[in-house]
Amino acid sequence: MTIFKQLRQFEHENVVFCHDKETGLRAIIAIHNTTLGPALGGCRMKSYQSEDDALFDVLRLSRAMTFKSSLAGLHLGGGKSVVLLDHPEQKTPELLTAFARRINQLRGTYIGAGDIGSNTDDLRHMRQTCPWITGLAEQDGGLGDSAILTSLGVFMGLKAAVKYQLNRDDLVGLRISLQGLGKVGFMLLEKLVNAGCHVTVTDINPKAMERAKLEFPQIQTVSNRDIFSVEADIFSPNAIGGILTPQVAHNLPVSIVAGAANNVLLNDEAGEVLKQRHILYAPDFLINAGGVIMVASEIKGEGLEVARKKVETIYDRTLSVFERAAHDNTPPQQAAVAMAVERIEAARIDKARHEQRGMGTTMPETTMSETMVLETTYEHGDTKNGQADDGLIRS
């Protein structure tokens, strides 16, 4: 499929290919939709088997970010960026600076944050060059590790699925098969164990499984391949996306699927199979929105507790999506997309109406003010080029 066919399929506004000869930078910034506000999304830095794989990844992820921000009620759009690394050592300070300059050229249309392969140290370094970087560590003026609230959001969504599917308010005694013990997966594991669940885990990293078994001796461990055949009440995918193919969905021995991994379903057919088998799927972009909610609160200058309370509303929002899916007789992921698109379309119509009246605004007022928070952090700097004179982040 050609690049423009993919853009038409995913309905992106803009895709930027970045290159820097001196550092070897190869990056793609995908801006899916900015109707609700600037496109927010993480900066993923990893190796890909091919450039086509990297493009497909950034297009799918940025599209999901649009739906995630919309469903979360944020004045933000959807974007994502990927930096293609030949090897981990290629991620040098010079390469990060070159990438930050490319983001800076977009003047806030895209706001970057942390993701796979990028940490708060990387973000701090990039922020010295570009104000459109968020998700910072607490000592740098941010709200800290977004995995904390991402795992909380997934936990709330999982509890909502249990309430809807099993009519239970607690998780005591439920069997969970959990794939992926990264930051979010491990924090979710802790919540599930504390809630009285019987958890079976897997990860491609043996050390991650050893750590989990050491901290939680009561859990069971299996190979990554065997996790799909573990009989459980809930399957929680927290690793890579695209793992639920139609075939896997047809054989999965669970009642609920709820996890933090992005783009869990390989395609819509997999979602249809789950629906036909009466397996309730909690859409990933709905329940893993804790991180983007936290970053949005950081942009607005809100505290961590304000962000936490917003993340807890994922419970009610998830129930609403399940109710909409039942009403429309569609899989939950389709209902979630429909709800997200409806909010975006309403904003688009409202924006067009304002423009016709001569107001000339291209962004909701609240969105513009949120965006300006990033500009004003450089109160003594040169906001024309997005850099502070001394490179310091100011509050």
Beta-bridge partners for 133: 112
Q: Which of 68, 80, 91, 310 is catalytic?
A: 80
CB 201 within 8 A of CB 221: yes
Token pair, residue 333, equals: 């992921």
Q: Which residues contact 84 (CB under 8 A, 6 or more apart)?
A: 26, 27, 28, 46, 47, 48, 51, 54
CA-to-CA separations, 47 to 3, 22, 207, in angstroms, rounded: 20, 19, 22
DSSP string, 29-83: EEEEE-SSSSEEEEEEEE--S-HHHHHHHHHHHHHHHHHHHHHTT-S-EEEEEEE
Distance, in Å, from the CA atom of 190 to the CA atom of 204, rounded to the nearest integer, reads 19
Q: DSSP letter for 13, please.
A: S
80 is catalytic: yes
- Residues 113 and 135: beta-carbon distance below 8 Å: yes
Q: Using the 8-state DSSP alphabet, how is residue 389 labeled?
A: S
Active site (catalytic) residues: 80
